[in-house]
Amino acid sequence: AGGADELKRFVNDTRTVSAKFTQIQTNERGEKLASSSGEMILSRPGRFRWSYTQPYDQLMVCDGAKIWLYDPDLSQVTVRPAAEALSGTPAALLAQKSTLTDQFSIEELGQRQGSEGVRLRPLNADGDFEAIELWLSRGAPDRMVFLDRIGNRTEVAFSQIQVNGKIDETQLRFKPPKGVEVVESGGGPQRTTE
Amino acid sequence: CSLSPQQRELSSAEKGAAYARHEAQILGIESFQVDGRAASAELGFRADLHWLERADRHFELRLAGPFGAGAVELRGDADLVEVRNSDGVQQTADPEGWIRHRYGWTLPISGLRYWALGVPNPRIPSQPSLDAQGRLETLIQNGWKLTYSEYRREGEYDLPRRFEADNGQVRLKLLIDRWNLQPEIGSP
């Protein structure tokens, strides 16, 4: 089964995924910019929890309607519509209903270390990312690579992957803690355009 | 976080002397690297921030959202800066103006090199006020007001961990997670 078939299998058969992840960002000269790790829960379609614990706590929850990003050290929650965030986060990508062919061109990458790969190139040119690699095995993602438009690379590796297990629904909801600023946001250096 | 050794209240003369020593010590830092975060509640953004300051006065600043989304990189010196983002590569002599025009907020780039270390830019006038240990508590310089709320011990230095920068239009919260005071040793 090629990468595209694994992707179809994932889209058709996979309802929930829970896993630990590590994330490493490198620049175009291959120098390491940052590394982080945490846990994620995915409930398809449309909902996920992406929780960093290293190097500091950072929580991202998509409840199907909105994506919440909570930074406890900054006591700030930034929130934006879930639909807007398709190209923004790996979990948003994985949470999509469709096989992504309507938003990405899909190229087979063959097999590596027991998983099948596809390269997704956004059809609209002004997304955040140049390309996204998705490596899957037995219908679940085990690695993702994000290439942004200025040559930096973010690699996310999953471990302890459980597919279609029971999910704690409360983990997929977010209520801003008392006293924390809630801000409509573009999510990155961009701010929302009025 | 660890408070610096002189926890007891200093007299104002002692504070002035402590500040002079502290400032001279910090101004000896010629190159450094900072990993941190910048956020603005009103403008609704939060970005990861990487700043590399070289001894030859060149700097590299990288701002990005989650997973590197919307990344922007600025490289250059006080006179000319190359800006790289999803639109491509451009050059500007006014990086602060460029960021404000493109993103609707800005960062005090010329000042940040000193303010991130907790000292004023020594070449232009400033109005500092000191905390109990003779470190900067607030600083007014170049149209910005800086407010330092947390310091952290880094080797022999007390360096800012948390501060705010406000120029009347933009109010930024800055948080420094990691200092590297020998960035150019071993880097290519």
| Strands across the sheet containing B59-64 | B88-92, B81-85, B72-76, B59-64, B45-53, B32-40, B171-180, B157-166, B144-154, B136-141, B127-130
Q: Tell me if chain A has a CB within 8 Å of the CB of B187.
A: yes
* Burial (Cβ within 10 Å: 0-12, 13-18, ≥19) of residue B10: middle
Q: Residue A83: which pLDDT band, with cuts at 50, 70 and 90?
A: confident
Is 60 exceeded by the pLDDT of residue A194? no
3-state SS class at B38: strand
Tokens of A87: 């190209």
Which DSSP category does B183 fall into?
Answer: T
Q: Tell me if chain A has a CB within 8 Å of the CB of B170.
A: no
Contact B64 A148 (CB under 8 A): yes
Nearest CA to CA, how far is B173 from chain A (Å)? 8
Tokens of A180: 């924390």
Contacts of A146 in chain B (CB under 8 A): 67-68
End-to-end CA distance of chain A: 46
Provide the percentage of residues in chain A whose pLDDT is more than 70. 89
Strand segments, DSSP code E, in A15-114 are 16-26, 32-43, 47-54, 58-63, 66-71, 76-81, 104-112
Over chain B (188 residues), what is each successive 10-residue block's mean pLDDT?
60 91 94 93 84 94 84 91 91 92 86 95 95 95 97 95 94 95 70
Please give the model's pTM, rounded to 2 decimal places. Answer: 0.85
- At residue A186, the pLDDT reads 54
Q: In this predicted model, what pLDDT tens digit does every residue of A103-113 receive, in sequence order?
A: 788 999 999 99
Q: Which residue has the higher pLDDT, A187 or B182?
A: B182
Q: What is the ipTM of this complex?
A: 0.82
- At residue A96, the pLDDT reads 76
Asked whether A68 and A183 are in contact (CB, 8 A), the reply is no
Q: Tell me if chain A has a CB within 8 Å of the CB of B37.
A: yes
Is 70 exceeded by the pLDDT of residue A193? no
Q: What is the number of residues in chain A?
A: 194
Provide the percentage of residues in chain A whose pLDDT is more than 90. 49
3-state SS class at B178: strand
- At residue A11, the pLDDT reads 86
Q: In this predicted model, what pLDDT tens digit does every residue of A131-185 receive, in sequence order?
A: 999 999 988 899 999 998 888 899 999 999 999 999 999 999 999 999 998 988 7
Q: Give the separation between CA A38 and CA A54, rounded to whole angstroms.
A: 7
Quickly tell me which residue has 């990508």 as its tokens: A93
What is the interface size between A and B, counted as CB pairs within 8 Å? 122
b/e code B74-112 from CB counts within 10 Å (16+ = b)? bbbeeeebebbbbeeeeebeebbebbeebbbbbbbbebb
Which of A87, A153, A183 has the CB atom closest to B44's CB atom?
A: A183
- At residue A8, the pLDDT reads 87
Tokens of A125: 């040119």
3-state SS class at B70: coil
Residue of B nearest to A180 (CA): B41
Closest CA to A43 of A77, A69, A19, A79: A19
Residue B145 identity (one-letter amino acid): K
Closest CA to A115 of A9, A21, A191: A9
The interface residues of chain B toward chain A in range 56-75, judged by CB-CB distance below 8 A, are 62-73
Q: Give the separation between CA B177 and CA B161, rounded to whole angstroms.
A: 7
